[in-house]
Copies of this chain bind each other. A is one copy, B any other.
Amino acid sequence: MKELAIGIDLGGTNLKGCVMNRAGEILHLIRIPTEADKGGQRVLENILRLIGQLIQKQGAADSILGAGIGSPGFVDTDGTVLGGAENLPGWKGTRIYEPIREKHGLAATAGNDVTVTALAEFKFGAAKGMTNAVCLALGTGIGGGIVTNGHIYKGTHGMAGELGHICVETGGLQCTCGMKGCVEQYASATGIVKNAKLICDAVAENERTPFVDAVTTRPQSVTSKLVYDFVKKNDPIALRVHEYVCERLGRAVGAIFNTLAPDRLILGGGVMMAGQVIIDAVSRHSAKYCWPDIWKRCDIVAAQCGENAGVLGCGAMVFDEMG
């Protein structure tokens, strides 16, 4: 049994690659620029170069079972990028598997970046020892990843886990995807900022707080971190924004719980720097949208794998799928 795997985490800025073992220990870690602006072919060449560097560090490819790639958007089961990765121009249509096999003699597999993160948390982090897990990454957008019956779940054509586009408000805020009311428009970093501005703009003069002043005087510099800095200070309008966005996130979580009844829902991404206050509010609000027996049994917890979750999940996907 080959004991090592290569994991490649494809980001808009950096390509991060590791050689890891089945226990999730990283033996080698290399980071190179993605050069996304130079097109999909260049990105692929950089992935191939990075795999080469990792094999060289390891000394030989003999003990490496395969290479796993985590990509934004969708990768079909045959290794063709189907789209959904707007920050990687020309990446759509790229065929990933053959070049890796031809150049390095390695079998390859790919998955959505949040899907592999869910697998990392399942194998090595917040859902270790469980059977079923769902991950929600609250970043610029909201991504999702699912593990069912102990295995990564990709869905047809690798498209499962678009949890950020669960509609939580019929006729709600316009989403970049073309639909309206997607949860991403409320509980992503971008969504929190957008709703903070909308709520602050609607505040009556006698309700103004330091948070409202901060948002309305410098609208360009509002971040989700700023919102949660004021939440910590118990600013009533910041708390109103917090409850508003977590209520909508709770709607999506209720639908996810009713559908999958996972052992654990893992919240990650930059927004989760705010920590337990989000978990508490989402847990409370999701109760209104979830069958009570299920809600009682599904935990909501914070991600644990940190910045290496991506590469760890990619390697874990190799072991999960190639044995």
Contacts and interface: CB of A to CB of B under 8 A. Distances in A.
Interface of A: 74, 82-84, 131-132, 144, 146, 148-149, 151, 153, 155-157, 159-163, 165-167, 169-170, 177-180, 251-252, 254-256, 258-263, 288-294, 297-298
Given A144-B259, A254-B167, A294 B162 contact: yes
Contacts of A169: 170
Given A151-B149, A177-B291, A157 B82 contact: no
B292 A163 contact: no
A152 to B, nearest CB: 8
B261 A156 contact: yes
Contacts of A254: 166-167
B148 A259 contact: no
A170 B251 contact: yes
Nearest to A167: B289
B157 A149 contact: no
Contacts of A180: 288
A251 B151 contact: no
Contacts of A252: 255
B162 A258 contact: yes
A74 B165 CA distance: 29
Given A84-B293, A155-B261, 10 more contacts: A84-B291, A148-B149, A159-B291, A159-B294, A160-B260, A162-B259, A162-B294, A169-B170, A177-B292, A179-B288
A74 B290 CA distance: 15
